[in-house]
């Protein structure tokens, strides 16, 4: 059980500066259980709390854990230069949570501009660190379309290990399954820079299309491109479990 004052609830969930949060309550724009929140200093139980701000319903979360279906033509950096940032796909409270310089949720690892698929985002530094640590071997599944037809020897080499320029040791896929003349499902347990593209280049092929379909047991299911959703507590536990 934990409690917060209403103005702290709004501030922690990213609804603006303390002054803005106070203003939202004073203008009658915040409701709870169908009733207007009147006292910004009143305490409220935050477990399983839902409230509305300007008519939009929000859950309270100590930390935010989300999945996003990244569309092609978006960049994972905050200040995107050539393409729109993935962060523009999120509502502003998720980009402002916590306040300060490192406010908002951050992508856990990055996908290239032209890659689509599953991205996890969070504002929990420990969670992000755990998932991006080289010691964390949660499998990531990629659906790859290649420029040239695939052959059995390319698939074998991807699993046996290929040399990547800056890596002293060969890098191997956890699994590689050919699904068509130009398509394969590749499972990786590391997250090296442009890893899929470099591995396919190392076997004399080229990536034409790349989609991340799975991280651990998490899949996008029917989440449409460009959409996001909260992860459930079980999903958070599963994806961050030691492997």
Please give the residue ranges that form the binding site for ligand URA (CB under 6 A).
111-112, 115, 194-197, 210
Q: Kindly provide the b/e burial profile for residues 59-92, where b requires at least 16 CB atoms within 10 angstroms of the residue's own CB.
A: ebbeebbbbbbbbbebbbeeeeeeeebbbebbee
Smallest distance from the beta carbon of 234 to ligand URA, in angstroms?
26
37 vs 207, beta carbon nearer ligand URA: 207
46 vs 113, beta carbon nearer ligand URA: 113
**138, 215 in Cβ contact below 8 A?**
yes
Smallest distance from the beta carbon of 138 to ligand URA, in angstroms?
14
Instruction: Please name the helix (run of DSSP H) or strand (run of DSSP E) that holds residue 96, with its range, or none.
Output: helix 92-96
The label of the residue with tokens 């523009």 reads 88
**62, 31 in Cβ contact below 8 A?**
no
Q: Which residues contact 94 (CB under 8 A, 6 or more apart)?
A: 14, 64, 66, 104, 105, 121
Which residues are known catalytic residues?
Answer: 112
CB atoms within 10 A of CB 4: 18
SS3 (DSSP) at 145: strand
130 vs 192, beta carbon nearer ligand URA: 192
Smallest distance from the beta carbon of 164 to ligand URA, in angstroms?
11
Smallest distance from the beta carbon of 236 to ligand URA, in angstroms?
22
63 vs 197, beta carbon nearer ligand URA: 197
């Amino acid at each position: 059980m934990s409690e917060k004052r209403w103005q702290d609830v709004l501030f922690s969930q990213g609804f603006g500066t303390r002054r803005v949060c106070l203003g939202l309550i004073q203008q009658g724009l915040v409701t709870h259980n169908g009733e207007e929140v009147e006292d910004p200093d009143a305490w409220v139980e935050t477990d399983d709390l839902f409230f509305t701000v300007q008519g939009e319903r929000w859950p309270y979360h100590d930390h935010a854990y989300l999945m996003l279906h990244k569309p092609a033509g978006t960049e994972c950096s905050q200040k995107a230069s050539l393409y729109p940032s993935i962060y523009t796909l999120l509502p502003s409270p998720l980009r402002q949570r916590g306040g300060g310089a490192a406010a908002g949720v951050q992508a856990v690892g990055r996908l290239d501009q032209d890659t689509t698929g599953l991205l996890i985002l969070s504002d929990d530094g420990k969670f992000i660190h755990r998932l991006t640590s080289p010691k964390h071997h949660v499998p990531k599944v990629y659906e790859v379309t290649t420029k040239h037809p695939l052959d059995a020897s390319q698939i074998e080499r991807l699993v046996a290990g290929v040399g990547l320029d800056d890596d002293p040791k060969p890098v191997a896929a956890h699994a590689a399954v050919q699904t068509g003349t130009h398509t394969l499902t590749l499972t990786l347990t590391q997250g090296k820079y442009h890893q899929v593209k470099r591995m396919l280049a190392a076997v004399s092929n080229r990536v034409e299309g790349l989609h991340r379909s799975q991280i651990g047991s998490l899949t996008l299911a029917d989440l449409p491109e460009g959409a996001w959703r909260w992860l459930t507590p079980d999903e958070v536990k599963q994806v961050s479990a030691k492997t």
